[in-house]
Amino acid sequence: MAHLGRREEQASQLEAVAALPDGDDEEMRRHVAGAMGRQGGLLGMVGRHSESHDLFRRLIDRFGDDPRPQVERQVASAMNNLCVALSNLGRDAEVLAVAVGGVARV
């Protein structure tokens, strides 16, 4: 139970980083995208799948067109984790569409 409390606290801390403006600074964009990805993962771990889903969607929408490799990796990871969140929500039909979209990006 203590782990759940720590994960909730970590997710809250990452939320502050994810809310930072990222502009065009590559390092900042990488950090913000990474914080959003970690926050989404933590939310999923504590069973908050709907919030996890929403966060991964926002990450993909916000950074999906960024061609820089370090940011692209964060987007690819978010797409994978979005599939997991969708599956946990019982939205299996959408998993395939996200996976096909991810393959199309390559």
pLDDT tens digits, residue range 2-58? 465 676 676 666 666 666 666 778 888 888 899 899 999 999 999 999 999 999 999
Buried b (16+ CB within 10 A) or exposed e, 43-55: bbebebbebbbeb
74 pLDDT higher than 90? yes
> Quick one: pLDDT at residue 52?
95
Look up residue 62 and give its amino acid: R
Q: Rounded CA gap, 12 and 7, in Å?
A: 9
User: How far apart are the C-alpha atoms of 83 and 32, rounded to whole Å?
Assistant: 21
Enter the pTM of the model.
0.81
The reported pLDDT for the residue numbered 1 is 43
Contacts for 2-9: CB closer than 8 Å, 24+ residues apart: 4/46, 7/42, 7/45, 7/46, 8/42, 8/46
Position 82 scores a pLDDT of 96
CA 90 to chain centre: 18
